[in-house]
Structure formats: structure tokens, C-alpha cells
Chain A
Amino acid sequence: MSKSFGGLKVLDDITFEISKAKAFVLLGRSGTGKSVTLKHIIGLVRPDKGHVFVDGREITQLDARALSDVRKHMGFLFQSAALFDSMTVGDNVAFPLRRHTDLPDKEIRERAKQKLADVGLEREFDKMPAELSGGMKKRAALARAMALDPAILLVDEPSAGLDPITASEIDELLVQRKHSGATIVVVTHNIPSARAIGDELAVLHEGHIIAQGTAGDLDRSDDPLVKTFMRSEAGG
């Protein structure tokens, strides 16, 4: 697929395939179009040219209702967290459950609490998003993205703003989701985390995927940019 904004060509005919129940990690420098790529997968951005298939369905061709049905099986963590700031953290996490399940409210609250506990925020249930730090917002938003245990989980820089210990806990959570059958796409700058989660890694640069394969494959790459990437230890 290809995508431009104004005169700026962000994605220049990129192609990739993501296997079910595997974790696909998208790497690349800031501003190369990783977030834009992720938004294509859930239909928030439409390609100028090309196709996006999810479970065999061409989602750029779907009408609003059908697209909404596909989205019910997806979780999306925004790079900006994008919590609903008029609701408490607990209501944010409960939001997908209230919209898309018939569970009684008590059960919904229980589940939302559990999801927040999974990301270490059980005590933040009644707080407003504005009261959280950047890293906490990110984790709360991840809890919301995982509320319905979606079959496809798209996460944009989950460990940005987190300390290394919390970051590796989040990695662990994502790996667990993968082992219970979810397909995961992660955008990250954090190479240790990419190694820990990713079955397949891809590096996006100037509109193209310049390298793709397992962490081992990328370690053996001759490309200087890929080398620099794979050698870096941490990062946002």
C-alpha cells in the first residue's frame, strides 16, 4: 500500500503479511510512518493505493457497519494513549465492555479492575486520566485496548515513558496474549523489547521496508541503519 499526506509520501508501496498468533514488530526512526501503518490495519487511515486484508477481508472496501464488526475483534493502543479525558480511568477500560458486551455492570467493573491490575494500575481505577503520568496513561490505554481480549492487538510504542522493569512486565503481558492465540503488531524503539516479543521484525525507512525477518536475521544484516538499530540497547 501507499500513502501520502499533502505532498509528503509517507508509505511508498510497502507490502507485508502478519501471521496469526504471532507478534510482528515494526521498527524505524521517528516520523517514518510506523503509526500511520498501524492505523491502516484498523481502517483509521485509508491507503491512497493498495489493500489491507484482515482475516481475508479487504477492510478498505467495508462499509461502516462491517468495519465496526471487524474492529470489535481488535484492540488499538495509540501512541498518544488517547484516553477519554471526560471519564475515569476505570470507565475508560470499561468502555469497550459496556459498548460491546451484555455483561452486568458489576461484572464489567470487575473485569476492568482486573485489566488495570494486569498493567499495575489497580489503584488508579477512580482517577481521571489527567491525574496520571505519561507512562501510566499508556498502560491504562493498553488495559482498554485489551479489555475485550481482542484477537488482534495493535500497540504503538507500549513501553515509551516506562521504566525498564515496568516495560518488561508489559512485554510479558503481550507475550502472554500471543500465547493465548492473539495476533500482535507492535511499534517500538525498544530493541530488547522487540527481541523479547517479536517473532518477525521489520524496519521501515523512507517509505520502504528495508529489512524484515527474525531478530537473528536482522542481526546479520549488512545495512548500516539496521545494524545501528539492532545494536541499540534501550530507548523510548
Chain B
Amino acid sequence: MAIVDRVGGSVLSSLEFVGALATFGGRAIVSAFRPPYEVGEIVRHLYQFGLRSMPLILTSGFAIGVVLSMHTRATLARFGAEAMIPAGLAVALVRETGPLTAGLLVSGRVGAGIGAEIGAMRVTEQIDALEANAVDAFKFLAVTRVIACMIAMPLLTVMMDFAGIVGGFTAETAVSGMSWQLYFERSFLYLEFSDLIPATLKTVVFGFLIASVASYLGFTTSRGTEGVGEASTRSVVMASILIILSDVILVKIIFFFYPQVPA
């Protein structure tokens, strides 16, 4: 019975968490459309999340491109379809690997930061100080981060895709000496807007999840420094899980609207 209670309890508390999170995220969206729009803060976070995540995104993208290229080569060489390597890699990268990896990297880089920063502001009474200064702390801290993260995610994803293609080219040219022009041309040969656009736009949802989860955990931080560390770690764990789970649903939706019929 104890184990049933334990499992039941944790199911209930996860449901509670998801419910509270949905309320929090929903409030964020509604509040985003009401003035003041806090443009200054949004720009500041965009710089923080976007520009400062670029080195991570570009190096990871490049490395993933190299690795994917090796796998694609191993697979396609069996069918004597080496010419398809650039296209195969580009499609895999743009449709799934780029968006999902970018989402997970950003949840580590940005989610942890948001959880820790807002958590620290909670335990040092800076959130109360905002409220005492007649500022809507939820809007000022959470909503601005959610919006900035939703804008930054697709941009970072496109960079990741591009860095991956460059990585793929580097691996390819090392083996076959293929020129950049030819590689690039072949990459985009079979790539369609229906590959790029929905897959990239789904990362807006990832951005929403990352910033909402981390802000929520930051806002509800208690128990001093220990609580701040926990808010930061849980932000990464929760955001990563939610990204992977939501990806299943998003891919399903994308396939529904863009059925892949062979031409």
C-alpha cells in the first residue's frame, strides 16, 4: 500500500505542478498584451539569452553537424547515395536535431540562469522591493523573460541549423574534397519551407516552456540559498522534460498539417 500511496502522491503532485505552471504561463501570456510593455527589459533579456548563448549554440551546432555527417555517410554509402549526404543531413538537422538540441541547450544555459536569478531576488526580498515600488514584479521579471525567450529560441535554432550545415560541410570536404558551393546547393536541394518553418517555429513553444518553468520556480523559491540552487536545478530538469514531451505533441501536429507524401 505504501508504494501505491507514494506513486499516487507523486502523480498528484506532478499534476499540481503542471496545473500551477499552466496558470502561471497563461497569466504571462495575458499580461504580455497589457501595458506597460517593458520593452527595455525585454531587449535586455534578449541580449542576455540570445547573444550570450551564441557561442554555445554555434560550437554545439558545428560539432553535431560533423557527427551527423559521419552517420549520414555511413548510412547512405551503403546505398551508393553519397551525393545525398548534404541533403540528408540538412533535413535531419533542420527538422529535428537543430530545434530539439537548441531547446535542451537553452534550457540548461538560460533556464538555470532565470531560476537562480529570480529565486535569489525572491529570497533577498528584491521581488517585494519591486512591488513596494509600485511595479508589477510578475510582469517585470517573468513576462519579459518569457517573451525574450520566445523570440530568442527560433533565432538560435536557425543559427544552430546553419552551424550544423557548416560542420557537415567541414566533415564532408575532409573526406571527399567537395566544394562549399556544391555542398550548399545539395543541402538545400530537398529542403522545403515545410521542413524549416514549422520545425523552427515550434521552438517558440520551447522558449515559452523554458522561461515559464524557470520563472515559476524562481518566484516560488523559499528557504534561502539552498532554495535558489534547487530552483536553478529543477528549472533545467523540468524544462528539459517538458521540451521533450511537448516535442512529441508538436511533431504530431506538424505532421498533421504537413503530411509527408512522397512527391
A interface list, Cβ under 8 A from B: 39, 42, 44, 64, 68-69, 71-72, 74, 76, 78, 80, 82-86, 95-96, 99-100, 144
Output the least CB separation between B84 and chain A (Å). Answer: 50
Q: Do the beta carbons of B133 and A44 come within 8 Å of each other?
A: no
Q: Is the CB of B124 within 8 A of A82?
A: yes
Q: Which of A39, A83, A85, A99 contacts B134 (CB 8 A)?
A: A99
Q: What would be 21 A-B contacts, judged by CB atoms less than 8 Å apart?
A: A42-B132, A44-B128, A44-B132, A68-B135, A69-B134, A71-B131, A71-B134, A76-B129, A76-B132, A78-B128, A78-B129, A78-B132, A82-B126, A83-B126, A83-B129, A84-B126, A84-B130, A85-B126, A86-B117, A99-B133, A144-B133
**B16 on the interface (CB 8 Å rule)?**
no
CB < 8 Å neighbour of A82 from B117, B125, B135: B125
Interface residues on chain B, number (Cβ under 8 Å) = 14
Which A residues touch B135, using CB under 8 A?
A: 68, 99
Q: With the chains together, A69 CA to B128 CA distance in Å?
A: 16
Q: A68 touching B136 by the CB < 8 A rule?
A: yes
Interface of A is mostly: mixed
Mask for B97-129, Cβ within 8 A of A = 1, else 0?
000000000000000000001001000111011
Give the chain B neighbours of A69 by CB distance below 8 A: 134
CA distance A44 to B132 in the complex (A): 7
Residue contact A64 to B136, C-beta cutoff 8 Å: yes
On chain B, the residues within 8 Å of A44 by CB distance are 128, 131-132
Please tell me if the beta carbons of A78 and B134 are within 8 angstroms of each other in the complex: no
A78 to B124, CA, bound (A): 10
A220 to B: closest C-beta gap in Å:
36
Among B117, B126, B133, the residue within 8 A (CB) of A71 is B133
Q: Give the 5 A-B residue pairs with the shortest CB-CB distance, closest first.
A: A71-B134, A82-B129, A82-B125, A76-B132, A68-B134
